[in-house]
Amino acid sequence: MSGLRAVTIVGAGKTPFGAFPNHDLRSLAVTAGEKALKNANLGPNAIESFYLGNFAGPQFTDQNHLAPYISTALGMTGIPSTRFEAACASSGAAFFQAFLGIASGVYDVAMVVGVEKMTCQPTPRVTEILAGAGDCATEVKAGSTFPSLFAMIARRHMHDFGTTREHLSAVAVKNHANGALNPDAQMRKVITLGQAMNARPIAEPLNLYDCSLISDGAAAVVLCAADRAREFSDRPVRILGVAQASDFVALDRKADITTFPAVRAAAKKAYEMAGLGPKDIQFAELHDCFTIAEIVAMEDLGFVQRGCGGFFTAEGGTRRDGAMPINASGGLKSKGHPVGATGVAQICDLVQQIRCEAGERQLQRHSIGLAQNLGGSGATCVVTILGDS
């Protein structure tokens, strides 16, 4: 996109992810938002536009009209407050729109909050609500859920490329090792390869350790025009590239279910905006809703060749000390996956690494990071590239 202003992130904040029966959706969002405002050294009246990423707050909590419900609780009135829904990419989509609002010159300062409160519903109801991000007239009507859809992706990837059960488990083992070092992670639990491979089956070939968690949580960032960033922060992080793309909702409409066209399209645009390529990315936060999703994502983003993601993972290439560190946060698998919060939480994780605030998880190479936020079985993808200022 030509003619856009440079945009930075000047504040970031998030809640821990987990099950929080004493916190409702609004209190989670407000906690993350207040942390981001404090991190940016500004008050709520500095925010000119508010963007909320939330997938299914009305179904999970019975509350509608969520954007002003949250922005006013943060002390923001008289500004546009809008909710964005794009399945698990909801807050990634909200972030993209906030970026456009500032890059186009309409606003100078904006806030994005992503939030989801899921554990207030029993697991069967959560599964039913999440399934609504698929094609309800076809695949959902036939009984499909996202574990079963990603199980089909995994099985086909195994058939086409020789990916193994051990490769899938290697993703889980690595992400749990990272998450164990993350104080905000829901499951701070180191697991062995044997545990990962022999866990309770969920949808063949996926088992318990291949699937992300049901979570509550929120994350927030404050965006600012780059020429004003130093008014608020001495550690602004540059948005080098960001793009959103879409594809068919139903898995059976895709010509090849081992690759996601929306990921490839969003990545191409984000790389072009940043003037970078896959080899320039030093670390990444990828959308591992299931272990196979991380493998497919690293291939679609160009980090490895098609079919090589599982082998690269098993060889240690994605560990914190590997050639391409992926999900140093623990990923959705260990950190947790409050779906509406995930996209912004990934961006917060990039900001932490770039600012050298990641504690025990701090990477040696941390100047340029990429976040990939996926919605449904590949129907929406937002790719964001951040860099040190």
| Domain architecture of the chain: domains with CATH | 7-122+215-238 (3.40.47.10), 135-210+240-388 (3.40.47.10)
Give pLDDT tens digits for 368-384.
Answer: 999 999 999 999 999 99
Question: Active-site residue numbers?
Answer: 88, 337
pLDDT band at 60 (very low <50, low <70, confident <90, very high): very high
pLDDT value at 1 more than 60: no
The pTM assigned to this predicted structure is 0.97
CA distances from 182 to 175, 186, 362 (A): 11, 9, 10
pLDDT band at 3 (very low <50, low <70, confident <90, very high): confident
pLDDT band at 389 (very low <50, low <70, confident <90, very high): confident
